Structure formats: structure tokens, C-alpha cells
Amino acid sequence: MKGTKGKAGAAALLALALLATTAAEVGAGWPAHDAPVRHLYLIRHGEYVRDEGCDEDAGCALDRLGRHQAALAGDLLASLGIEFTSLQSSSMTRARETAAIIDERLPGPVLELHRDIRECTPATRRADVMAGLEPGEAEACGRELAAAWDRLVRPAADRDAHDIVVCHGNVIRWFVCRALGVDPEAWLGMSIANCSLTVIQVRPDGTCRLVTFADAGHIPFPLRTYPGTVADPAAVSAALGPE
């Protein structure tokens, strides 16, 4: 019993310490460096309507679970207490809507739309996936992602930079391969949840550090979705109410 009380007391002290921590201190929790560092907060869009009738270029909109996931991602980013440098999004509907919901929860930068972080399928080691692509499709995607990499993954200037980038699973996985210095064709070996958070630091010399990948801890487990999965409708209704 004595040991239990000691653990409870330690937990209470820890809780008080956390409550006393300022938002700025929480935001400074990433690995530190002596010189300015760029932080990329890569957010995969929320779950969306699956309908082949949607606009071919813009894609389908978020469903209500996706909007809830986006709100949770926005709340997470707001809780960090960070002054974000930019908020960028793919121009596809599901990413734009996710970014707009996040934007409602953050002060600061105006939402920017970019076509170079749209969903596409780059080259992969999976022969079955490559067989389903049009001639030149993977190469065109690779060029687009390389251009986005050059635009985004650059050293900070005179102070730390914090850029939110709302985009797509393929884009984030390809970026993670590049950040780790491994063959980008390995990207399909990773899975990434909707509205999960991936953080990459860009050091002053241009090298990268992967701080976190596909963190979905802010989304209750029954409401998490991954490529090829769907949430239990009963769990969605229990959390969000009937449609």
C-alpha cells in the first residue's frame, strides 16, 4: 500500500508540473540545435467520401469522420503553442478541407495551396502497383515530388521555422524516405493514418532528422483510418452521434 501511495504522489507531482508548463515550453519540446532549424509538420488529410463521380482533378470531399479527424489534428497543433511560419495544403479537395479546419484553430499564417504536393503514385518496388500505372506516370510523380522537396526541405534563415503541410499519404511516405536517405521506392512499405502527424527537422546544412512518423495518438483508436481500412460505423455514431 505504501508503494502505491508513493506512486500516486509521484503521479500527482508530475501532473502539477505538466500543468505548470507553459505552451511555449511545450512547443519547444522537439530536439534542439544551436542554429535555426526548419520543422515540417506533415499532416495526411482526413477520411473522405469514396465516389468515382467526384471531380477527377480535385477529388472527393471529407466525410464527417474526416472532418472530425481534421479538428483533432488542428487541436493538437494548437496545443503545441508554436508560432507557425506557414500553413500549406495540396490543392485537392480532401486536403484543402482538412487544412481549412486546422486553420480555424490556429492564428497566424494564411492558408496557401500548392499543386506540387497533390496525391500521385511515384515509383515503387511493388510490381503489381507499377503494372497498374500509365506509361510515364510514376516518373512524372517523382519529378513533382522532387520539386516539392526542393521547395519545402530547406534550411531556416535567421530563426526556427515551423511549416504545416497538409497533403497525402504517398507524398509523406516519399518525403520520409528522402529524409532518411533511403531508396524512395521503399515508400509503400509504410502505412499512415488519416490526419496523423509526421515531423521532419531540416538542419542548417540541409540534412534531415525524422522526429515522429504517422503519430495518430490524438485520434481515438476506433476513429483511426488507414489506407484500405474503414472505421466501424457503430464507433463513429457513438462518437459523433447519428447522421
Q: How do residues 112-164 score in pLDDT, each as one tens digit?
A: 999 999 999 999 999 999 999 999 999 999 999 999 999 999 999 999 999 99
What CA–CA distances, in Å, run from 12 to 2, 19, 141? 15, 11, 51
**The pLDDT value given to residue 55:** 87
What CA–CA distances, in Å, run from 176 to 157, 170, 198? 23, 10, 9
Judge contact between 184 and 177, C-beta under 8 A: yes
CATH 3.40.190.10 holds for 37-240: no
CB neighbour list of residue 158: distance below 8 Å, 6 or more residues apart: 36
Strands 197-202 and 86-90: unpaired
Give the CA count within 13 Å in the CB-facing half-sphere of 113: 11
pTM: 0.87
∠ at Cα 125 (123, 127), nearest 5°?
95
Task: Report how far residue 183's alpha carbon sits from residue 185's, in angstroms, rounded to the nearest whole number.
Answer: 5
Which sign, positive or negative, has the C-alpha torsion 239, 240, 242, 243?
Answer: negative
Residue-wise pLDDT tens for the chain (243 aa)? 445 445 444 444 444 444 333 333 434 578 877 889 999 999 999 999 988 888 888 989 999 999 999 999 999 999 999 999 999 999 999 999 999 999 999 998 999 999 999 999 999 999 999 999 999 999 999 999 999 999 999 999 999 999 999 999 999 999 999 999 999 999 999 999 999 999 999 999 999 999 999 999 999 999 999 998 999 999 999 999 987
